[in-house]
Amino acid sequence: MTASEPISEDKIVYFGVININEKDRTVGAIDIWRSVITKELFCEEKRLGILEIADNIGMPKIDRDKKWAIAINKKKVGKDKWKLIKIIREGRFRFIDVDDETTVEVDVKDYSIRDSDWWSFLVENNVNRSIEISVQENAK
């Protein structure tokens, strides 16, 4: 490469989707984009029936020590049962529930929620899949 050639810029491209199903009915989806150079993932949740613009405009960033995950509440149903989160590797973890008010605190081990009311799965392991959230077994 010579000094006059431009340095290639990173591009963010559409990578895939995760369909969120409950009892064989779609209740939402996660759109996933990926950096061509760094392979970093960017995610946005889409809820069935919710038309508001997301509070994060553009590609939401995530800290290097966290991963994108879906948290599922075992006691709720429908669009309020799940939430896209940025999960830690291990320890006590807090996030805001779907109502945008309630703080949820759970234990996390190896990027997975360990709680009697919640379970989770990683986005990176489930790209281009449909996940049935009424059962815990089908997510990777």
pLDDT along the chain (140 residues), means of 10: 58 95 93 94 85 58 93 92 97 95 97 96 97 86
How many residues belong to the chain?
140
Collapsing DSSP to helix, strand or coil, 125 comes out as helix
pLDDT at 31: 95
Residue 113 lies in a domain: yes
Range of the domain at 45: 12-49+61-132
Overall pTM > 0.85: yes
What pLDDT is attached to residue 6? 53
- Confidence at residue 1, expressed as pLDDT on a 0 to 100 scale: 43
pLDDT of residue 8: 67
Per the domain annotation, does 56 fall within a domain? no
Residue 34 in tokens? 């990926």
| Whole-number pLDDT of residue 138 | 75
Task: Report if residue 138 sits inside a domain.
Answer: no
Identify whether 7 is part of a domain: no
Please give the pLDDT value at position 54. Answer: 53
Domain membership of residue 137 (yes or no) is: no
What is the tens place of the pLDDT at every residue in 7-43? 568 899 999 999 999 998 999 999 999 999 999 999 9
Within a domain: 105: yes
E strands present in the chain? 12-22, 25-35, 41-47, 67-73, 82-87, 90-96, 103-109, 112-114, 118-122, 129-132
Q: Give the chain's domain count.
A: 1
